[in-house]
Structure 1
Amino acid sequence: METALRVTASPSLPNYPVTLAPPRPMKFTIVRSRFGQALKDTARFVPQKPTHPLLGCILLEADADTQRLTLTAFDLSQGLQYRTEAQVPAGGGGRLALPGKLLDELVARLPDGDVVLEALQSDNSDDTTPRAVTLTYSGGRCQLQTLDPEEYPQLPRVAGTSVVLNPDVLREGIAQTAWSASTDETRQVLCGIHIVLSGNQLELASLDGSRLSVFSSSVPDRENAETFEVTIPVSALREVQRLLDGSNGFSSPNIETAEPQTSQPVTLSYEPGQLSVELTQMTLASRALEGAFPDYHSLLPDRFQRQLIAAKKPLLNALERLALFVGKDSYIQWSVEGNSQTLTLSTCQGAGEVVESLPVRFEGEDFRTGFNLYYLRQALKILARDEALFQFNRALQPVLLTPPQQSSNAKFLLVPMGTGEEESEPAAPESTQTPSPPEPSPSPTASRKKSARDRAPQKTRKKGQEASVNAKPEAEELAVVPT
């Protein structure tokens, strides 16, 4: 006889009424000046024309435990996370996504004093995502609509090879190389600054086919560390320079230590495809540019036939006067006489003819060439010394520009421009080989095409294009062959 198991239900528990307190909405209080500075730096990373509404927002994260407010802007290519102090009540932490440009411009126009930002509760008890916030300030308040913060893209955390740098070294390296990066989007890898860290040597370089900049410096206590190479968009590194340069108003002093950001070390972290720069209050992350950067060391000549030393300020002043008469991309004629130790600058373009003569110290044979006026002025302005050393070979071969003393970490290479009055090239020696048979006569169509090609350099030279591209067959563009 089978025995069935009998299950006896236990007496039901009494249904005591349970009242759950609604979650407290996000709220924080912050000094307007501090909030405005944080928004000013962060809003620079909000794209002007975002491809998605969320990318046009700044993510605000308040933490009641640390009493800190974190602002993040990220356009999927580069972004910034800014950390600052705020008063966050218990239970008042949370996340909000607000229109970045609007919030930045609004807070910049608020009166001094405290600003209180509080999320508004939704009428739907199941919906905990705030849909609007109230911004209260001295003398008024306003309401802003929000987007879902949970869908905001996360700023990458780079946890690869790291190095701690002196901020002055990084700032100088960016300033000395950013000017020669290309703006041609068809050659993406040239639109960045190439960073190489090998042992205790740091090197930054950029080039665009007409100019090259190289900056090098030593990094202490890193002799046997890991090596990495990465090319970062110049726009991202310019932002790093601005954030480091507290004297230009791009970043506020460290609130806690009352010291400028520039006194704090900077940490560079790299992993394949991205790089981050860590400051005391900020973290900047950027994607790396794809492609092999050219072997720029092979472009630097190891010996020269001529050299010229000129005082930087008089030379720059003369170039500024020439610039008043010609356009931005115009060229100037440059001739040197060894007997008189005189450099003559001239141009007959634009509004009139200008001739300037300067005393210099010159070694080598007399010669003349031409330079892009804008590039030459840029290089001299960035050169951080009172004198400039120009080292030449042939008239249309690249020119190395450095300070006369070897105390500088930077060197610049410029490609001269054809002016039609360069030194004549020596005739090639006669060949002892059997001459080749004459080429067949070209067809009339080919002759017309060749004639058009011959005339093209004359037209483009008037527009100030590089001689390396248009003006002289023997002048070549800086080779940008990848390594």
Structure 2
Amino acid sequence: MKVSIERSALLSAIQNVQRAVSNKTTIPVLSGIKIAAEKEALKMTATDLETGIETSLPTHVDNEQVAKIMEEGAIVLSARYLSEIVRKLPHSTVELEVKQNYLTVIRSGTSEFNLHGLHAEEFPRLPQVSGNQMFSIPSIVLKDMIRQTVPAVSTEEIRPVLTGVVASLKDGHLRFVATDSHRLAQREVVVEAPAALSFSNVIIPGKSLSELGRLLPDNDALVDVVIAENQILFKFAQTQFYSRLIDGQYPDTSRIIPTAFKTSIRVGTKLLLEAVERAALIARDNDNNVVRLNIKSNQLEISSNSPDVGKASEMLSPAQFGGEELLIAFNAKYLIDALRVVEGEDTTVEFTGSMSPFLIKQPDNAGYLHLILPVRIY
């Protein structure tokens, strides 16, 4: 294999696929990136056997040559060393040449490195995901859905299904739901999908979605999503992102979402977020990071108390108030996570009682909600 390529394009591709490299593995080939030089493209692939990313670098972009394939072939190189070397190279053009015994020469300007590689045939083949369960969604919309649901994914492996986001599609409405049993996040959007296409209980690992969210571009370009029996594939730009699905039955969360409320407030998102963050400075040393919200007709009192640290209290004036007065306590981190992904200037919070779950909503986006369970304080 022998290729010449622009350093910036090569580095960008390495950084993309490096997200799927296994950091803790006893299989040497999984700590590497497979580089395959084909006739009109340079393909880079990484996988940890749960997630796989493949990026294709075409030799020409907008009729300008960014890479030259002098000799086809493939090699697996250490992701860590390849990334660090390419980042530090002095020239805008990089040449890769594979010699005998998989020794790979990396040249740029007067700089030259020799890296020991592995046979490309040792690298696992990415799954062939195909099927008629396919739909399209704008990249920026998918990115927002991930951003607004992944924070509620469980980090505990006791119930594996809760470490993922469950996806469902019906009548063109795509829904993501995540819960760790203390909070729940839900986002629903309309997507381009065949009228007959519907599915449920597709559980995507939260870790995979987090990495996908970092890769997705901030534009309206469509992402094609293909769902197979135990895999899901996202195709966008020159990248294909694969992930295993979590096996199991996700709990029915629709039953815990309140449909009526006794108290409702509307308040500036930033004002409420910053007030809860300040109260959390004291609360973070107590067991459940507990912050109290005392709701009255013309004011909200946000407070926290730690016997070993001290107290914090702050007053806010809600833009709107309706219903009964209420005192409720909750884990500050959960509300902070929810408010950070609210897109509007205002947030609506609906309560059904001091010991019942409450909802965070966006007044201008009916497709988003976040549910938080309160903490008992007496």
Is TM-score (shorter-chain normalized) higher than 0.5?
A: yes
Question: What is the identity, as a one-letter code, of the residue corresponding to 2:304?
Answer: T
Question: How many Å apart are 1:34 and its aligned residue?
Answer: 0.8
Q: Secondary structure at the match of 1:44?
A: helix
Partners of 2:301 and 2:315 within 8 A in 1: yes
Q: Distance in 1 between matches of 2:357 and 2:260?
A: 12
Post-superposition Cα deviations, 1:320-371, rounded to whole Å, max 9, x if no partner, equal 2212333175101111223xx2111111215321111111232222221101
Question: How many Å apart are 1:281 and its aligned residue?
Answer: 0.7
User: Does 1:159 pair with 2:130?
Assistant: yes
Partner of 1:174: 146
Partners of 2:51 and 2:244 within 8 A in 1: yes
Question: Which among 307, 316, 332 is matched to residue 373 of structure 1?
Answer: 332
CA separation of 1:372 and 1:47: change in aligned 2, threshold 3 A: same
Question: Which among 66, 79, 99 is matched to residue 78 of structure 2?
Answer: 99
Q: Distance in 1 between matches of 2:356 and 2:301?
A: 19
Q: Distance in 2 between matches of 1:105 and 1:61?
A: 20
Moved more, 350-359 or 69-78: 350-359
Show the 5 A alignment for 1:61-460: 61-63=36-38, 65-66=39-40, 68-86=41-59, 87-90=67-70, 92-121=71-100, 130-160=101-131, 161-220=133-192, 222-245=194-217, 262-327=219-284, 329-338=288-297, 341-349=298-306, 351-360=309-318, 361-405=320-364, 407-420=365-378
Partner of 2:62: none
CA separation of 1:267 and 1:343: change in aligned 2, threshold 3 A: same
Show the 5 A alignment for 1:50-65: 50-63=25-38, 65=39
Partners of 1:78 and 1:236 within 8 A in 2: yes
Question: What is the identity, as a one-letter code, of the residue corresponding to 2:246?
Answer: L
Percent identity over the alignment is 28
Partners of 2:36 and 2:75 within 8 A in 1: yes
CA separation of 1:221 and 1:80: change in aligned 2, threshold 3 A: closer
Question: What is the identity, as a one-letter code, of the residue corresponding to 2:20?
Answer: F
Partner of 1:35: 10
- State how many pairs are aligned: 366
Partner of 1:450: none
CA separation of 1:220 and 1:97: change in aligned 2, threshold 3 A: closer
Q: Secondary structure at the match of 1:224?
A: coil
Post-superposition Cα deviations, 1:195-220, rounded to whole Å, max 9, x if no partner, equal 11223111111000111011111124
RMSD: 1.6
* Unmatched segments (≥5 aa) in structure 1: 1-25, 122-129, 247-261, 421-483
Partners of 1:31 and 1:115 within 8 A in 2: yes
The structure whose residues are more often strand, as a share, is 2
Q: Distance in 2 between matches of 1:359 and 1:344?
A: 9
Q: Distance in 1 between matches of 2:362 and 2:172?
A: 24
Q: Secondary structure at the match of 1:289?
A: coil
Larger Rg over CA atoms: 1
Post-superposition Cα deviations, 1:101-123, rounded to whole Å, max 9, x if no partner, equal 111111111123211111113xx
Question: What is the identity, as a one-letter code, of the residue corresponding to 2:158?
Answer: T
CA separation of 1:181 and 1:357: change in aligned 2, threshold 3 A: same
TM-score (norm 2): 0.93
User: Does 1:46 pair with 2:46?
Assistant: no
Partner of 1:125: none
Partners of 1:215 and 1:409 within 8 A in 2: yes
Q: Which has the higher contact order (CA 8 A, sep 6+)?
A: 2
Partners of 1:62 and 1:88 within 8 A in 2: no
Q: Distance in 1 between matches of 2:145 and 2:302?
A: 31
Partners of 2:75 and 2:102 within 8 A in 1: no
Q: Distance in 1 between matches of 2:377 and 2:199?
A: 44
Partner of 1:464: none
Q: Distance in 2 between matches of 1:217 and 1:105?
A: 40
Partners of 1:71 and 1:81 within 8 A in 2: yes
Q: Distance in 1 between matches of 2:144 and 2:181?
A: 23
Question: How many Å apart are 1:263 and its aligned residue?
Answer: 4.0
Question: What is the identity, as a one-letter code, of the residue corresponding to 1:136?
Answer: R
Partner of 1:442: none
Partner of 1:8: none
Q: Secondary structure at the match of 2:97?
A: strand
Question: How many Å apart are 1:384 and its aligned residue?
Answer: 1.1
CA separation of 1:159 and 1:190: change in aligned 2, threshold 3 A: same
Question: What is the identity, as a one-letter code, of the residue corresponding to 1:359?
Answer: S
Question: How many Å apart are 1:228 and its aligned residue?
Answer: 4.9
Q: Secondary structure at the match of 1:54?
A: helix
Partners of 1:57 and 1:73 within 8 A in 2: yes
Q: Secondary structure at the match of 1:142?
A: strand
Q: Distance in 2 between matches of 1:316 and 1:225?
A: 39
